[in-house]
Structure 1
């Protein structure tokens, strides 16, 4: 037994030094290379400060809607609903979101609604929607703002973030950035 105690103590000390010191400093150093230097990417607009990497709530027909949030976009309580796809409460919530979307987007079929417009992300704070989710909202936003749909399509294309290295992931759109650009069109 004594021959096992010293290696265990040494391993514990090495892990403490590595994970509490070296690893932490490495992550902090890498964070300094990101926009916002690890503090999050912020956007200042009309005297307000927004975090571009945290989902925002948009429900007005004049704006592109964000992905639903299980925590009502509260970054302090980031979490998913933890309800499975067969949970009756979850299915009721998704159906309510579908019904609301269909009321505000006339002429859209239920089958055409992208899932990211009616299901929350794992964190509940996803700031992005799919390109399809933005495109399906163009008609509603154009009508509410009395704008040309082609101009909005161009804006959606302009704010589409391509997959990483052109291979990893799918195209996505930061809803906050898109809606700020929408307000600046005038």
Structure 2
């Protein structure tokens, strides 16, 4: 008993020192090499600071819509809804998002709506949408802003982020950057 107790106590003290000291300093040190020293990437527009790597809510029809969030874009409480695809409440929420999208984007077929426009991400803070999700909104935004669809297609092309090393991950578009560029169109 005494042998196990001392071994357990040593292991506990070692874990406390490592996890609350050494590991924390290691992670902090690694963050110093990240953009903005791990404090997030910020974008300033019209005197307002936004975090590029945290999803923002864009619901006005004149903007590209963001991916839905299960946590209302609250970075203090990242998380998904934890409801499976057979949950009736989840299915009702997704159906409501589809119906709203179809009302705002007349002429769009239900089957053409990209999943990332009607389902929340696992974190609820995804700042990106797919290229298809941006392109399906072009017609609506062109009509509201009285600009050509070609201008919007070019804006999407310029703001598309390629996969890492052209292999890892899909092409994506940061909605905040896209909407700021949209506001800056003359």
When the two structures are superposed, what TM-score results if normalisation uses the length of structure 2? 0.94
Q: Deviations over 1:60-106 (max 9, x none)?
A: 12110000111221222322111111111111110010011011111
Query: 1:6: how far off?
Result: 2.6
**d(CA) in 2 for partners of 1:57 and 1:155?**
20
2:168 is equivalent to residue 168 of structure 1: yes
Paired residue secondary structure (1:44): strand
Task: Give 2:11's aligned residue.
Answer: 11
How far does residue 4 in structure 1 lie from its aligned partner after superposition? 2.3
Length, aligned pairs only: 186
Corresponding residue of 1:43: 43
Listed as ranges, the gaps of 5+ residues in structure 1 are: none
Superposed CA deviations along residues 12-65 of structure 1, whole A, max 9, x for unmatched, are 222222211111111111111222211111111112111111111111121100
1:26-175 matched pairs, under 5 angstroms: 26-175=26-175
User: How far apart in 1 are the matches of 2:37 and 2:44?
Assistant: 16
Ranges in structure 2 where 5+ consecutive residues have no aligned partner: none
Aligned-CA RMSD value: 1.3
- The range that moved more, 170-179 or 144-153, is 144-153
Shift of 1:179: 0.3
Is 171-180 or 41-50 further displaced after alignment? 41-50
SS of the counterpart of 1:124? coil
- Cα distance in structure 1, aligned partners of 2:31 and 2:118: 32
Q: CA deviation at 1:9?
A: 2.3
1:150-180 deviations in Å (ceiling 9; x for gaps): 1211111111111122221111111001100
In 1, Cα distance between equivalents of 2:165 and 2:119? 27
Give the TM-score normalised by the residue count of structure 1: 0.94
- Separation in structure 1 between the aligned mates of residue 42 and residue 61 of structure 2, nearest angstrom: 25
Matches of 2:88 and 2:148, distance apart in 1:
41
